[in-house]
Amino acid sequence: MRSLRAGLAASAESAKVRSRTHVHSPTVDLGGGEWRLKEAELLFQRFRDDLRVDLRLSAAKSRQGGEKGRDEITVETLKTVLDQARIAIRATLRH
């Protein structure tokens, strides 16, 4: 449990540092496309960081309570939703 807490604390701190670095980095005159790309990358990172904490907490609870079925459903849901998001986003890039 200590290693989980340490991992979660490290992940949270890393996310805070990254968000501060991106928000307060020196301003560069980015074109519209470059700015949108940077914004998309920040959204990906925020999504990953948020879910990573939730997934680790859930995994710790599962180890204690032996609820493996929920983890399988969560992983399948993640795969399905990310596949659908990939298809939808790529469709917007082609137009």
Q: What is the tens place of the pLDDT at every residue in 28-77?
A: 555 667 888 899 999 999 999 999 998 888 888 877 776 667 778 888 99
Global pTM value: 0.57
* pLDDT score recorded for residue 83: 97
For the CA atoms of 25, 30, 33, 37, the dihedral, rounded to the nearest 10 degrees, stands at -10
Q: How confident is the model at residue 91 (pLDDT cuts 50, 70, 90)?
A: very high
Structural domain of residue 51, as residue ranges? 2-94
Q: Are 57 and 8 in contact (CB under 8 A)?
A: yes
- The answer to whether the CB of 58 falls within 8 A of the CB of 74 is yes
The Cα–Cα gap between 57 and 60 comes to 5
> What is the domain count for the chain?
1
Q: Are 45 and 18 in contact (CB under 8 A)?
A: yes
